[in-house]
Amino acid sequence: MSSLVAEAIQAELGAYEPWPDNACLYQPYQVEQITFPDYANCLSVKTFLHMCGLEFHTEVRTNAEEMSPSGKVPFIHVGAFLVSELDPIIAFVNTRGFQLSRDLDEGLKSEMRAYMALIENVMVNAELYLAWIDEAVSEEITKPRYGYIHPWPLNRLLPWKKQSNVRARLDSIGWAKKTMDEVCDEVKTCCQALAERLDSKQYFFGDKPTELDALVFGHLYTILTTRLPVSRFAEIVQQFSNLTAFCTRVEENFYKKYGRDF
């Protein structure tokens, strides 16, 4: 459960329990199934847990999306709790006493939350747009991957249903009618803001990573490394050298150093 009641219970019970050894993160199959918006979310969560120094192992399931308490991947299984999506996972981890941004003062914390909201508002929607609304990408990449594990006719019906859900969601905020150019402009504005904020620092708020760093890494790394018919987002991100250097740095410090897989 990712509800308010559950969080209150977690604060009561979880605070006394140490992080177990068998903590699990569930996600869809990486090579054949997962779509890149979901992959960005999974990578953000994994990076966050690595940054906190929490051990977990990754379970791949074809029906991870249906298993999740809120219908979105990834979700973690810790002790008796199932928590999905990055924000509830951050809150859950905080109740266990692990907080990356504990040294920041209130003004900086609010700036951090604002930048995280910026990523959610712009990057997540832009990725959904590119994956599901853009003709080339949705027909060639996203829909085949999403329906990969199902037999005919489910492998046609389920992606179509998901596409109309995503379209309705983007329509409710006015993104479905945007052209590709407008979406690229939004991405560029977002990257500009992030580049300004990062400047020449190691991480966004000094020398130690915070939740924002995990989130930004997840999304930017996915955009840079996913091979798509339309690579305009990658070109936009590459224009900002400090962002690409940031991604390389996080990859180096939290993945390559420990030999971890993505």
Partner 1 sequence: MADDVIDLQVWKGDWGLPTVDPACLSTLSYCRFSGVPVKLRKTGNPWRSPSGELPIMKHRNVTETKVSEIFSYLRKQNYGCDFALSNKQSADAVAFSSMLEEKLLPAILHLWWIDGKTFVDFTRPWYTKVLPFPLNFFIPGQKQKQASLRVYLTKGGTNVSDTELEAKIYKEAKECMNLLAYRLGKQEYFFGSSPSSLDALVFGYLAPILKAPLPNNQLQNHLKMCDNLCSLCNRILLRYFPPDPEEGAKKKKAEASKSQSSSDLQEFPNKKRNMVLAAIFALTAMAGYALLSGIIQIDIVDDSNSTSDKTNSTSSYFSKPQTYNNEPVFEDNDGYDDE
Residues that bind partner 1 (CB under 8 A): 2-4, 69-72, 106-107, 109-111, 113-115, 117-118, 120-122, 165, 168-169, 171-174, 189-190, 192-194, 196-197, 199
Q: How long, in residues, is the chain?
A: 262
Q: In the structure encoding, which two tokens stand for residue 86, read together?
A: 């990055």
C-beta of 141 vs 191, nearer to partner 1: 191
Q: Which is nearer to partner 1, 198 or 250 (CB)?
A: 198
Shortest approach of partner 1 to residue 31 CB, angstroms? 26
Our CB check for partner 1 shows the closer of 5 and 31 to be: 5
Strand 75-78 relative to strand 81-84, pairing: antiparallel
The CB-of-164 to partner 1 minimum distance in angstroms stands at 12
Interatomic CA distance for residues 92 and 58, integer angstroms: 18
> Please, what is the minimum distance in Å from the beta carbon of residue 110 to partner 1?
4
Judged by CB, which is closer to partner 1: 190, or 236?
A: 190
Rg (CA), the chain: 18
The nearer residue to partner 1, 216 or 228, going by C-beta atoms, is: 216
CA–CA gap between residue 225 and residue 222 (Å, rounded): 5
Helices 4-13 & 86-95 angle (0-180, nearest 10): 30
Edge to edge, the sheet with strand 24-27 lists 57-60, 24-27, 75-78, 81-84
CA 104 to chain centre: 23
* Least distance (Å) between residue 188 CB and partner 1: 11
Nearest to 78 by CA among 59, 100, 104: 59
Report, in Å, the least distance between residue 143 CB and partner 1. 20
